[in-house]
Amino acid sequence: MKHTSSTSAVPDAPRVPRHVAVIMDGNGRWATKRFLPRVAGHVKGAEAVRGVVEACVERGVEYLTLFAFSSENWRRPEEEVSLLMRLFVTMLEREVAKMHANDIRLKVVGDLSRFNEQLQAMIASAERKTADNTRLTVTICANYGGRWDIMQAVNSMTAQGGQPAGGYTEEQLAPHLAMAYAPEPDLFIRTGGEERISNFLLWQLAYTELYFTDTYWPDFGAASLDEAIASYQQRERRFGRTGAQLAEKAS
């Protein structure tokens, strides 16, 4: 199914979020609090992913998108960056077969050209292997930036030529976005206490419900996900309309 990422149509507001997007933050602080090196937090954080993936499958979430490495994270100490890359490789080696057995599709989005060839090949092979799985789509955003995504979409759209007289529309841009295969996120979660977007899905979060928690990512599990979903279920998603209009539609 093609999802038009556009604010001109009113999307549905499913009771269980179809698409959950997460900024997995707080690994470093989790470790520092325990007098451990920051990398220990990343290892623990990578382990936490599995529990949340399982919980999403059980709850009927269709898309889970995880911010693993931002285009700005290259600014970190070289040692930490290289550990994160190695961890990514290990996770692919360890988890892809299991994901495939559980009918989970894996996608990796971002500017992958900056990764080494071995990692790029592993990503391509994991995506190919799981391409037809339908139970849950897990997207890892790696070397991803929301502005990078919009710019690459603009460049890809305009490269086709033939600019329409009235200018391009949202509907024309949307299919060029890195996650055009997914509906826009219903629920955004950021762990670790910061309340910012940090250049995550800028276009796609236009009408997403935002949820922030102080819990550090390594401590985030099924129960934390349920709290986030419960908060989401309390929200009134108006998409520009009034509360009265929504009540009328529901009656």
Binding residues for substrate: 26-30, 38, 42, 70-72, 74, 76, 190, 196-198
Annotated binding-site residues read: 25-30, 38, 42, 70-72, 74, 76, 190, 196-198, 209
Q: Is 70 in the site for Mg ion (CB under 5 A)?
A: no
Quick one: 114 or 196, whose CB is closer to ligand IPE?
196
Three-class secondary structure of residue 177 per DSSP: coil
Residue 23 φ then ψ, to 5°: -95, 110
Query: Rounded distance, CA 97 to CA 125, Å?
Result: 11
Q: Is 25 a catalytic residue?
A: yes
| 28/183 with CB nearer ligand IPE | 28
For 92-127, letters b (16+ CB in 10 Å) and e give beebbeebbeeebbbbbbbeeeebeeebeebbeebe
CB of 26 to ligand IPE, least distance (A): 4
Annotated binding residues for Mg(2+) = 25, 209
The residue assigned the tokens 């799985």 is 133
**Residue 115 binds which entry of Mg ion, ligand IPE, none, CB below 5-8 Å type-dependent:** none
**Terminal Cα-to-Cα distance of the chain (whole angstroms):** 30
Pairing of strands 136-144, 104-109: parallel
Report the interface residues with ligand IPE, using CB under 6 A: 23-29, 67-70, 73, 84, 192, 194, 196, 198
Closer to Mg ion by CB, 25 or 62: give it. Answer: 25
73 is annotated as an active-site residue:
yes
Closest CA to 108 of 148, 135, 144: 144
Is residue 51 within 8 A of residue 221, CB to CB? The reply is yes
d(Cα 92, Cα 150) in Å, to the nearest integer?
A: 27
Q: Which stretch binds Mg ion (CB under 5 A): 25-33, 67-75, 150-158, 202-210?
A: 25-33
Q: Which of 17, 25, 64, 232 binds Mg ion (CB under 5 A)?
A: 25
Comparison of 25 and 209: residue with beta carbon closer to ligand IPE:
25
Name the catalytic one among 25, 143, 149, 186: 25
Give the Cα separation of 62 and 1 in Å (integer).
13
State the minimum distance, in angstroms, from the CB of residue 68 to ligand IPE: 5
Residues annotated catalytic, as ranges: 25, 73
Query: Contact residues for Mg ion (CB under 5 A)?
Result: 25
